[in-house]
Amino acid sequence: MVSGPDFTCGVAANPADVIFCWGDFETTSTEWEGFPQKESIVELAAGESFICARTPTGDVWCLTKDTTDDAPPTSKDFWVTDSPVKVEDYKFKAISAGKDAICGILWDDTIACWSVTDVNDHDRILDSPAGTYKQLSVGSGHACAVRKNKGIVVCWGANSWSEWATVQALPGTFESVSAGNQHTCGIRPDGDVECWGNNGSGQLNAPEF
């Protein structure tokens, strides 16, 4: 189950593998016509106005609550429509959605990102870093990922609050990261949490146990 700003979506057990959303994004199984229901859904990701589903074979399908008349997705310019659209040319191990963009770890452990609206300032999030990764998280206008076999965190996208500049100066490694609106937190191998970016609401002040 995943939530956007004003909606929640989940995969039903009965009928199996049918996606339903409620709130300001009500869907029924008929709205997912074209989605291969015979395949299981192993992961959901929700943005501000869209939801994407990943299957065990690595395929990703997306649906938006806003109707657009734009073309189907290409490799880096993805506008979802009011019916499910399959992301072509990619097979994913994991996906993560932010406000207007989504990134995924491909089967070769590299990262691909694409937009779901006219992202304007968020265009930079499409410039995903080189290398191989084991985990990623997409925030409002930036994203961060943990390098495979190294544990080093790499961030990219918007940097108005040092969303990614700060982490470049942080020593040591991380097990995982979670990106927010203008900040990111990561878990160290010893379980400690370290955060960077905007601290206007105290979001960098992680508790110590």
Check pLDDT > 80 for residue 106: yes
Which pTM was predicted?
0.82
Lowest mean pLDDT among 63-77, 79-93, 154-168: 63-77
pLDDT band at 39; cut points 50, 70, 90: low
pLDDT digits (tens, 9 = 90+) for 47-80: 888 888 899 999 988 887 654 444 334 433 444 4
Mean pLDDT computed over 98-125: 75
Q: How far apart, in Å, do the first and last CA atoms of the chain sit?
A: 29
Mean pLDDT computed over 165-175: 77
- Percentage of the chain exceeding pLDDT 90: 27
Give the list of residues 6+ apart from residue 199 with CB closer than 8 angstroms, or none: 183, 205
Check pLDDT > 80 for residue 196: yes
Q: Order of strands across the sheet with 60-64?
A: 43-46, 50-54, 60-64, 85-86
Give the list of residues 6+ apart from residue 46 with CB closer than 8 angstroms, or none: 2, 3, 4, 7, 9, 52, 97
Q: In whole angstroms, what is the distance from residue 197 CA to residue 79 CA?
A: 29
Give the list of residues 6+ apart from residue 162 with CB closer than 8 angstroms, or none: 196, 197
Residue 43: predicted pLDDT: 92
Q: In whole angstroms, what is the distance from residue 85 CA to residue 62 CA?
A: 5
Q: In whole angstroms, what is the distance from residue 15 CA to residue 106 CA?
A: 29
Q: What is the mean pLDDT of the chain?
A: 78
Domain ranges of the chain: 1-92
